[in-house]
Amino acid sequence: MPKPRRDIVAIVRWILLLACWPLWLTAAYANPFYGPPPPPDDAPVFSGDAELGFTHLSGNTNSQTLIGKTLLTWLTGNFTYSLRGEVRNVTKDDETSAEQYLVSGRERYELDGPHYLFGFARWEKDRFAGYDQQLSAIGGYGRQILENDTHTLSLEAGPGYRHDRLREYDDERLMVTYTALDYRWGFSDYADIQQEMSLEYTDQNTTSRSLTALTARLNSKLSLRLSHEIKHNSQPPDDTNVRTDTTTSASLLYRW
């Protein structure tokens, strides 16, 4: 009999315990730092992953929650391109309480040494956040601070532009100052912790985003992921009372 993977057993136990809580009764939207780390020499030209979480409660409470994410990555010379999509939907007693969509595209160009340039465009729509939709375009400079078998850390910053379409007011066109970090700690051969944070400053508000994720690999393709996401808007539209949204979720992750 092979020796049990104790770290996987412990992580799965945490996820199963947390899954018993009402993790998906609320949903939020976080899309912080999406720059992939530099690919290893043996990385495939094209790769991707898909993440899915779903709950359904019936009886005294009738609700269902769907969280779906996908990421496609491909390599061309010194360029790394990625395309991301997300959808979240929560209904309770046949009434929708959260409905969010995101599509973003990004490129990273490797320079000599631990330096790179990046650019990305992001479209997001959140039915209950006071915005009809938001479109952002940001570019700038990044630096790979750490890159080894255990730790990776990237920092980046740059200017950008955002177009906010509001439901009750005129559209807003804003200049953005952006900064972000991405840290990953592979504390075993089968599990890692990821921390992403970003800050987008405009003269109207400041938007901060955070994603903390624990991923336990079951095999070469399938993983379990427990994540916590936070999005804070310092000055949301007047018809929105809440400044901070959070999501805690457990999901299956498939990679190819």
Average pLDDT over every residue of 50-71: 81
Specify the amino acid at residue 95: E
* Domain annotation covers residue 24: no
Q: Given this model, what pLDDT does residue 170 score?
A: 78
Q: Given this model, what pLDDT does residue 38 score?
A: 66
Q: Which residue has the tokens 């007011």?
A: 169
Burial of 208 (0-12, 13-18, 19+ CB in 10 A): middle
For residue 22, what are the CA distances in angstroms to 26, 63, 64, 172, 251? 9, 11, 11, 37, 14
Q: Given this model, what pLDDT does residue 105 score?
A: 92
Structure tokens at 122: 């992001």
Write down how long the chain is: 256
* Domain annotation covers residue 29: no
Task: Note the pLDDT tens digit of each residue in 128-175.
Answer: 777 889 999 999 999 999 988 899 999 999 999 999 988 777 788 999
* Domain annotation covers residue 40: no
Does the pLDDT value for residue 113 go beyond 90? no
Cα–Cα distance measured from residue 81 to residue 61, given in angstroms and rounded to the nearest whole number: 43
Cα–Cα distance measured from residue 85 to residue 105, given in angstroms and rounded to the nearest whole number: 9
Average pLDDT over every residue of 224-250: 85
Q: If pLDDT is split at 50, 70 and 90, which confidence band does 177 have?
A: very high
DSSP string, 80-95: EEEEEEEEEEEEETTE
Cα–Cα distance measured from residue 117 to residue 226, given in angstroms and rounded to the nearest whole number: 31
Average pLDDT over every residue of 63-90: 88
Structure tokens at 10: 């412990």
Does the pLDDT value for residue 48 go beyond 90? no
Task: Note the pLDDT tens digit of each residue in 198-235.
Answer: 999 999 999 999 999 999 999 989 999 998 989 899 98
Does the pLDDT value for residue 61 go beyond 90? no
* Domain annotation covers residue 245: yes
Q: Given this model, what pLDDT does residue 29 score?
A: 32
* Full domain range(s) for residue 212: 8-14+46-255
Instruction: Count how many domains the chain has.
Output: 1
Asked whether 117 and 109 are in contact (CB, 8 A), the reply is: yes
* Domain annotation covers residue 26: no
Average pLDDT over every residue of 47-76: 83
Q: What is the CATH number of the domain that holds 65?
A: 2.40.160.40
